[in-house]
Chain A
């Protein structure tokens, strides 16, 4: 396999690994996949107001701060499961950076968010959208430079404290 192909496979793997780490609330492991200049954003286009919106954004330290403070906040602890499919990985000419587009659906399995007696265990789609990622390489390993979570879903109900 060519070096380019190897890198593309490695990028796909790191996208899937990130989904697992996020599902499992392994925030440090997730952030360790990210470059120190990492930028994260959740965005959506609203046809209601005809505007490209940013629902959340921050750098690596912002994301660490948010995840570190999760235990201090009251949250819906219903597990989120990210079903991710990597659609494209495109290397730049230098082979030093790459972009990737993945489709995702986030399923929420109710635990304690509404009425656990009746609803715990019920799974519903919470969000759908695309991950638009940029990667660099450190010691040959891909690292997220940027992740833009482009949401299709705009009816967000209770929302979430967790990165998507």
Chain B
């Protein structure tokens, strides 16, 4: 078949159906992006860090969720709480450092308090305001400490010690209910004993966050990776399934990776995670932009913070067991880094691919259809790992949250469904 002219190029190819592609504008349109922030990211639970990053009372971590500055602190009672990192006085950011401890005083404030450096208003670890500088002189009886305080956020520590936060006070689900069973595949491994983060780096990539989630959700792109081609592609590799859960989450089933097929890689049977068979691999694509990847001896977690329609920050964490000996930790680090590290074999290739993908989808560029219409079944009629059910499941949830049809975002979700049925 020859290359296409404009009219042919614009036509739906072959017998691909309406729910088997998305419109490229969902990756580039600024209005759609803003809607995603308000309709999805401000509403859902998201992990923001791991409890091992707040190992001692008075330790803290800062981050942003849906553009809102957030601070997570461990109180004197060892409980982890989350607040907006915003002073109720003049809106200043209370803590600028990425992490640290409030145990020592700051130039503007007392030890064991969160202090806004601007006017030295102070807050305890529960977010209560405990000091307003020259309060009665300036506010008389019109405003007291009891009238102000930090904006608390709902916060849970769940699934191996990840700290989950939502900006949505009215959310009617716990983290467990929001997960909808997606963690069943690795919950036993994560909760067996305390975990610890040993790897952190971040990437700001010129691509829409969904492109990274897509890449984590589809395994057809194994052709991108020499490492995957050489260590996988056996019967058990194809026998894995994408399993959809409520709320758009997807679990990718396990298989045994043949690491010794890759030159320079030894078998990884020497160390695994509790309750994970050696060399096995379980993965969760968590809606809307988180990935948990338990492979051999290391757990990887990607947390995406969308920064714009064509810009996403991805924080990469690697975790092992808190009880690791130095030798075990080194093995986990090597296993993690060789594939997933910033100088590893696979991560660079994945990030390269989504970058060049977004390069064809700049804002106001002609819309295109981005296909996810593979239905690849095994001899028993079950979908194989190259079936793109995972992405279809994500976009079904995305369309419902956004009330937009992913294949034509100018249609409501219901209109899109009707068109699909027709």
Interface on A for B, CB 8 Å cutoff? 42, 44, 46-51, 53-57, 61-62, 65-66, 68-69, 72-76, 113-115, 154-164
Q: How far is the CA of A85 from the CA of B46 in the complex (A)?
A: 44
Nearest to B62 among chain A residues (CB) is A48
Partner of B53, one of A48, A62, A154: A48
B205 & A47 in contact (Cβ 8 Å cutoff): no
Q: A65-B263, A155-B202 are in contact. Are A72 and B226 (CB under 8 A)?
A: yes
Q: How far is the CA of A159 from the CA of B348 in the complex (A)?
A: 6
B352 & A74 in contact (Cβ 8 Å cutoff): yes
**B356 contacts the other chain (Cβ, under 8 Å)?**
yes
Q: How far is the CA of A113 from the CA of B354 in the complex (A)?
A: 11
Partner of B352, one of A47, A56, A69, A158: A158
Residues of A within 8 A of B227 (CB): 73
Q: Which of B322-350 contact A (CB under 8 A)?
A: 330, 333-334, 337-338, 341-345, 347-349
Q: How far is the CB of B103 from chain A (nearest CB, A)?
A: 14
Partner of B348, one of A42, A68, A76: A76
A56 & B343 in contact (Cβ 8 Å cutoff): yes
Partner of B359, one of A53, A56, A115: A115
B342 & A55 in contact (Cβ 8 Å cutoff): yes
Interface size class of B (residues with CB under 8 A): 35 or more
B352 & A76 in contact (Cβ 8 Å cutoff): yes
Partner of A73, one of B201, B342, B345: B345
Interface on B for A, CB 8 Å cutoff? 50, 52-53, 55, 61, 97-99, 197-206, 224-227, 263-264, 317, 330, 333-334, 337-338, 341-345, 347-349, 351-353, 355-356, 359
B202 & A158 in contact (Cβ 8 Å cutoff): no
Q: How far is the CB of B402 from chain A (nearest CB, A)?
A: 28
Q: How far is the CB of B324 from chain A (nearest CB, A)?
A: 12
A159 & B264 in contact (Cβ 8 Å cutoff): no
B337 & A50 in contact (Cβ 8 Å cutoff): no
Residues of A within 8 A of B202 (CB): 154-156
Q: How far is the CA of A148 from the CA of B115 in the complex (A)?
A: 39
Q: How far is the CB of B109 from chain A (nearest CB, A)?
A: 21
B342 & A49 in contact (Cβ 8 Å cutoff): no
Q: How far is the CA of A49 from the CA of B330 in the complex (A)?
A: 17
Secondary structure of the A side of the interface? Answer: loop
Secondary structure of the B side of the interface? Answer: mixed
Instruction: Write 15 A-B pairs (CB below 8 A) sorted by A numbering.
Output: A48-B98, A49-B197, A49-B198, A55-B201, A68-B263, A74-B224, A75-B349, A76-B348, A114-B359, A157-B205, A157-B351, A159-B341, A159-B347, A160-B348, A161-B348
Residues of B within 8 A of A69 (CB): 226, 263-264
Residues of B within 8 A of A155 (CB): 201-204
B197 & A159 in contact (Cβ 8 Å cutoff): no
Q: How far is the CB of B316 from chain A (nearest CB, A)?
A: 9
B205 & A53 in contact (Cβ 8 Å cutoff): no
Q: How far is the CA of A162 from the CA of B206 in the complex (A)?
A: 21
A49 & B200 in contact (Cβ 8 Å cutoff): yes
Nearest to B351 among chain A residues (CB) is A158
Q: How far is the CA of A64 from the CA of B78 in the complex (A)?
A: 48
Residues of A within 8 A of B352 (CB): 74-76, 113, 158
Residues of B within 8 A of A65 (CB): 263-264
Q: A74-B224, A159-B203 are in contact. Are A114 and B99 (CB under 8 A)?
A: no
Residues of B within 8 A of A76 (CB): 348, 352
B356 & A53 in contact (Cβ 8 Å cutoff): no
A54 & B337 in contact (Cβ 8 Å cutoff): yes
Q: How far is the CA of A65 from the CA of B50 in the complex (A)?
A: 34
Residues of B within 8 A of A154 (CB): 200-202
Q: How far is the CA of A147 from the CA of B53 in the complex (A)?
A: 29
Beyond contacts A49-B52, A51-B200, A159-B351: 18 other A-B pairs, Cβ-Cβ < 8 A, are A46-B201, A47-B97, A47-B99, A48-B53, A55-B337, A55-B342, A56-B341, A65-B263, A72-B226, A74-B226, A75-B352, A114-B359, A154-B201, A155-B203, A157-B203, A158-B355, A159-B203, A159-B343
